[in-house]
Amino acid sequence: MSTHRVHPGLLARLRTLRSDQPVRVIVEYEPTAVAPHVAARRWRPLRVARVLPFMTLELPAAQVEELAQEPYVKRVWEDLPVYPLLDVSVPKIGAPRVWELGWTGEGIRVAVVDTGVDLHHPDLEDRIVATADFSGSGSVQDRDGHGTHVASIIAGSGAASGGTYRGVAPEAELYIAKALDDRGRGYMSDVIAGLDWALAQQVHVVNVSLGAEVACDGTDALSTACDALVKEGIVVCVAAGNSGPGRGTIGSPGCAREVITVGATTDNDQVALFSSRGPTADGRVKPDICFPGEGIVAARAQGTDMGTPVNTYYTAASGTSMATPHCTGAVALLLEAEPHLTPSDIKKRLMDTAVDLGLDANLQGAGRGDVYAAVAQAPVTKAPETDISTPEPPSPPTPEPTPPPPPEPTPPGPPSRQPAGCLLGLLLGLFGR
């Protein structure tokens, strides 16, 4: 077998399977438009990404060797399951002080790859620009609750709470990719499809509050895809995982090299017990930084019971999933203030200005993020142009069947700091789900 092309985790898995037992795999192929069509002559692709050079196949275990020997194949991984990684936090990181400087995330496009979103939540309905479903659910409506909670930590208006539970970047634009189904389940390939869509939408930041909680070295398929987006100029913030307090518990894509991997802290600036610790399987320090992630109150999707419901509109939840959108919102504020910054610039700025908690780097990374300290280094401020004063809370909703999501709007024109372009501009016309 061309073992150098097959990930060690898949090799180990194949040894446990019968030769005729089906296995889902993710294939990274050489940059040629014909590769998926060649593969389709022998195997049926489940999905082909439209921009990233990845496709997903299901084939008998015995045929993985044949696949790996194809000249267009670069790497093959098992398509692993992924899951979600589950008031005072926004002020704690200095976001309101940044708003006073005039920065609210306006004009920054943020993709949330998760369980969808409550399209009609008062805190989010005016922030959603585009949506896409890769979960097979047929709708981006969030029936799990995780994605809605995450999205509102980033850019919720706080309309249903009179402004109490406003997100970190309340005027950022949300692009919603539903990669996990209504039970919060999905595969790495579903997440990669969401990342691929986000790249095509020319977003500035991507939030990935999910993952496979397995030890990894950054060479798995999902980590590779996340790093590919960073190389295209997109900041990617990912959850470290909830497998703490043991060492070496960072999961995928938290082990990716180029992303910002986020651990969780408590209200009193201690690293949360559940927050995954480094090092990665290849010995690198992770997480990169921590943000608040315990008992976070944010939007509750209608009809869901994730976390501990506070009222009709809000629920409290804990996890590195909740810490990560604090980081994503911080990135949106920083990018609005300094749009010329590269992903590596932003990562360094956040880490350099973090509050050192005096703990081992494999627990805290650089420390707890402080977005005000990061943005305060910007050369200019601006007078607030929009009113983010306390909104009036809405009336309680009348239960009704959830309507289908609106048609996906056409994304706006290229940003001032857009990605360097499609990784594979010649993939036009390829099929995908």
Length of the chain: 433
Choosing from 7, 79, 89, 114, the catalytic residue is 114
β-partners of residue 30 are none
Tokens at 320, concatenated: 């590195």
pLDDT digits (tens, 9 = 90+) for 102-140: 999 999 999 999 999 999 999 999 999 999 999 999 999
Measure the CA–CA gap between 31 and 15, rounded to whole angstroms.
30
Give alpha helix (H) positions in 7-52: 8-14, 35-42
- Among the ranges given (270-274, 287-291, 362-366, 376-380), the one the predictor scored with the smallest mean pLDDT: 376-380
Can 321 be counted among the known catalytic residues?
yes
**Looking at the predicted structure, is the pLDDT value of residue 392 above 90?**
no
Residue 314 DSSP symbol = E
Per-residue pLDDT band for 378 (boundaries 50, 70, 90) equals confident
Per-residue pLDDT band for 4 (boundaries 50, 70, 90) equals confident
What average pLDDT score do residues 402-406 get?
Answer: 40
pLDDT digits (tens, 9 = 90+) for 248-260: 999 999 999 999 9
What average pLDDT score do residues 340-360 get?
Answer: 98
pLDDT digits (tens, 9 = 90+) for 220-249: 999 999 999 999 999 999 999 999 999 999
What is the fold, at CATH topology level, of the domain defined by 13-79? Alpha-Beta Plaits (3.30.70)
**Looking at the predicted structure, is the pLDDT value of residue 16 above 90?**
yes
Per-residue pLDDT band for 88 (boundaries 50, 70, 90) equals confident
Per-residue pLDDT band for 409 (boundaries 50, 70, 90) equals very low
Q: Record the pTM.
A: 0.85
Could you give the 3-state DSSP secondary structure of residue 333? helix
Determine the distance from the C-alpha atom of residue 62 to the mean position of all C-alpha atoms in its chain, rounded to a whole number.
34
**Looking at the predicted structure, is the pLDDT value of residue 21 above 60?**
yes
Q: What pLDDT shows up at residue 40?
A: 79
Those residues whose C-beta lies under 8 Å from the C-beta of residue 38, and which sit 6 or more positions away, are 70, 72
Measure the CA–CA gap between 247 and 178, rounded to whole angstroms.
31
Measure the CA–CA gap between 159 and 167, rounded to whole angstroms.
11
Could you give the 3-state DSSP secondary structure of residue 59? strand
What percent of the chain stands above pLDDT 90? Answer: 78
Angle between helices 221-231 and 188-200 (to 10 degrees): 10
Choosing from 79, 89, 321, 326, the catalytic residue is 321
Could you give the 3-state DSSP secondary structure of residue 19? coil
Can 326 be counted among the known catalytic residues?
no
Could you give the 3-state DSSP secondary structure of residue 65? helix
- Where is 219: in which H helix or E strand? none
What is the fold, at CATH topology level, of the domain defined by 82-375? Rossmann fold (3.40.50)
pLDDT digits (tens, 9 = 90+) for 140-181: 999 999 999 999 999 999 999 999 999 999 999 999 999 999
Under 8 Å between Cβ of 230 and 308: no
Those residues whose C-beta lies under 8 Å from the C-beta of residue 358, and which sit 6 or more positions away, are none
Q: What pLDDT shows up at residue 388?
A: 53
Choosing from 7, 135, 137, 146, the catalytic residue is 146
Angle between helices 343-352 and 320-337 (to 10 degrees): 110
Domain ranges of the chain: 13-79, 82-375
Q: What pLDDT shows up at residue 149?
A: 98
